[in-house]
Chains A and B, each alone.
Chain A
Amino acid sequence: DIVMTQTPLSLSVTPGQPASISCKSSQSLLHSDGKTFFYWYLQKPGQPPQLLIYEVSNRFSGVPDRFSGSGSGTAFTLRISRVEVEDVGVYYCMQTIQLPITFGQGTRLEIK
């Protein structure tokens, strides 16, 4: 199974400040068709996960542009340019290039 390792597991950020979460996969997520099957989700308290970023760097519909994704191969980063109170929750990375689909452990973001 592909292991997804997120760091840090928690972070506390002052509103208006940037934040960054890393996710590393145990195998490359680059497919032979050129796509990279890597995603970021945010699970706000009491809610289901919501897709933020698909295929490394594409913001899903309605996602604010303060969220951005980057990376390649086995190393990926989610950046929030200016954290807002509504960004509180747990962030998960996920891969779908190989079954079983696997998730990172989650990174809990709280507001200072």
Chain B
Amino acid sequence: EVQLVESGGGLVKPGGSLRLSCAASGFIFSNAWMSWVRQAPGKGLEWVGRIKSKTDGGTTDYAAPVKGRFTISRDDSKNTLYVQMNSLKTDDTAVYYCTTGYSWGQGTLVTVSS
């Protein structure tokens, strides 16, 4: 069974940093292109960015609102996806999901507030 478990969310002040993790199991993680998608309170889904598998280059792509502030990485030896979030803004407040596109984690809440 595919499982994706996010962690690392919490309350952070504007300008602060946070690193989210997503532990994957039940599939060959190293072959998967992985994305982060977020959902602000009461709002719709917004793609944050993705990382390709290393065999497909391991490159990353980001949505405009987070480019230059967020960095997605992966550790295939630990079956774990990460997103390092810097210079956080109040608009970054959301539940952050990791997803293969087919399967989604339960999400972790990030609140950016003073």
Contact = CB atoms under 8 A, between A and B. Distances in A.
B75 interface: no
Contacts of B103: 51
A92 B97 contact: no
Given A48-B106, A48-B107, A103 B101 contact: no
B27 interface: no
Interface residues of B, number: 19
Contact of A49 (B45, B63, B64): B45
A102 interface: yes
Interface residues of A, number: 22
19 contacts: A39-B101, A48-B97, A48-B104, A48-B105, A48-B107, A49-B99, A49-B104, A50-B104, A51-B103, A54-B101, A92-B44, A92-B45, A100-B47, A100-B63, A101-B35, A101-B50, A103-B44, A103-B46, A105-B44
Interface of B: 35, 37, 44-47, 50, 61, 63-64, 97, 99, 101-107
